[in-house]
Amino acid sequence: MPEILLEGGSMIVERVELRVIQMPLKEPFETSFGREHQREAILVTVYADGLEGWGEVVASRDFGYSYETTETAWYVLRTFLIPAVLGREIPDVETVARIGERLRGHPMARAGLEAAFWDLFARQAGMPLARYLGGVRDRIPVGVSIGLQPGDAELLEKIRGYLEEGYRRIKVKIKPGRDVEMIAAIRRAFPEIPLMADANSAYTLEDADRLAALDEFGLMMIEQPLHWDDLYEHALLQARLRTPLCLDESIHSVRHARAALELGSCRIINIKPGRVGGLLEARRIHDLCHARGVPVWCGGMLETGIGRAANVALASLPGFTLPGDLSASDRYYHEDLIDPPFVLQPDGTLAVPTGPGLGVAVDRRRVDRVTVRMEAFRP
């Protein structure tokens, strides 16, 4: 009997592991919705076809950015998603995405599982994930997202440090009371730098005049000023601003993206695979925007190197024309989970890994050290 080769990437899922990890951040990260001292996340490992694939679930311990938390994602993964793939023959990533779509929500849980399959299928094909996705870049221009600081002096100091390291654009967090005067102070110190502000839904339409006062500072964009699932009021606001709006929280799918562009809710989109249910939907949003000439960039959720590697691969697609929130490993963590870590290149870029799949080696000893909960699933 000739050996039966499973062609076209089909694979049978032999085992899945979930781990909750807790990674101490080098410094706390504060936004308008809260302050994080350590990054809690779930790592998903899928074993199939003699290979392993890794994905990161970017939900946090607390809600705030979205309704998903580590606990809700763990529940959804172990109760619905893992049983749907375990022991089954999976022909392609689209199948995993379709299973996830039946949930009508919980995008971060779905995206973490889907990412592990992207890693697996790209490895099986012997290709770097970036190329497997259709990426064209080998270096990704990156920026840095700076959390709210105790005062302007601390913020200016941080900005100076990151610019010296070579970051290509600076994003600062704003909220009522820490906006116009703070941005004015930044512009006095750094008149020319590519600068943007992210409000994480801290404002309402009643603040439109205050937000319009930001027009004079030449910001690249204002990210997500209004309610986290709103498109209509952002359209009303955009009509009153010269500065482009960029949506983050409000874009959950390619349908939302299309609606936002048709309504004029934004002129730029921040794409995060976790927020939209996975890399497949992220790529659909990219394709839509690319076809319409709308710039996109890859957002971040303080990922470890595992989630970062997937984001870097995504950002290698041709429409990612703006620097992403994809900073080097040492901007977040003393020690990343991958070896080697992501390092900022002298030209302000991250190099796209060239090995198969995510193209980064997961350091299992480090993963073990930060794991606080683990469960393995077999058929």
Chain positions 183 to 202 lying near ligand OSB, rule: CB under 6 A, are 198, 200
From the list Mg ion, ligand OSB, none, pick the one residue 40 interacts with, judged by a Cβ distance below 5 to 8 Å according to partner type: none
Q: What is the dihedral of CA 68, 73, 74, 77, to 10 degrees?
A: 160
Q: Amino acid identity, residue 276?
A: V
Q: What is the gyration radius of the CA atoms in the chain, in angstroms?
A: 20
Say whether 175 is catalytic: no
Dist. CA 351–CA 329, nearest whole Å? 12
- The C-alpha atoms of residue 111 and residue 247 are separated, in whole angstroms, by 19
**200/349 with CB nearer ligand OSB:** 200
Looking at 47, 54, 65, 203, which residue binds ligand OSB (CB under 6 A)? 65
Q: Which is nearer to ligand OSB, 122 or 144 (CB)?
A: 144
Give bridge partners of residue 31 from the DSSP assignment: 34
Q: Does 336 bind ligand OSB (CB under 6 A)?
A: no
Stretch that binds Mg ion, among 74-82, 163-171, 197-205, 310-318 (CB under 5 A): 197-205
Q: Which of 114, 119, 198, 230 binds Mg ion (CB under 5 A)?
A: 198
CA distance 18 to 116: 11
Q: How far apart are CA 147 and CA 124, in angstroms?
A: 39
The two most distant CA atoms of the chain are separated, in Å, by: 76
Interactions with ligand OSB, residue window 117-156 (CB under 6 A): 145
Residue 56 found at the interface with ligand OSB (CB under 6 A): no
Q: Is 300 in the site for ligand OSB (CB under 6 A)?
A: yes
Rounded Cα distance, 257 and 237, in Å: 17
CA distances from 120 to 18, 20, 252, 339, 357 (A): 16, 21, 25, 19, 7
The stretch among 1-9, 96-104, 116-124, 296-304 that binds ligand OSB (CB under 6 A) is: 296-304
Number of residue whose CB is nearest ligand OSB = 300
Instruction: Closer to ligand OSB by CB, 131 or 173: give it.
Output: 173
Helices then strands, counting H and E runs in the chain, come out as 15, 16
Residue where the block lists tokens 């939900």:
59
274 binds ligand OSB (CB under 6 A): no
Interface with Mg ion (CB under 5 A), residue from 179, 248, 281, 303: 248
φ/ψ of residue 97, rounded to 5: -65, -40
Task: Give the nearer residue to ligand OSB in terms of CB position, either 65 or 320.
Answer: 65
Nearest distance in Å: CB 136, Mg ion: 25
> What's the min distance (Å) between Cβ of 83 and ligand OSB?
29
Identify whether 272 is a catalytic site residue.
Answer: yes
Q: Is 52 in the site for ligand OSB (CB under 6 A)?
A: no
Residue 293 and residue 111: Cα distance in Å, rounded? 26
Please identify the residue of the shown chain whose CB is closest to the bound Mg ion.
248
Return d(Cα 148, Cα 135) in angstroms, integer. 33
Active site residues: 173, 272
Q: Which residues bind ligand OSB (CB under 6 A)?
A: 65, 145, 198, 200, 248, 299-302, 325, 327
Q: Which residues bind Mg ion (CB under 5 A)?
A: 198, 223, 248
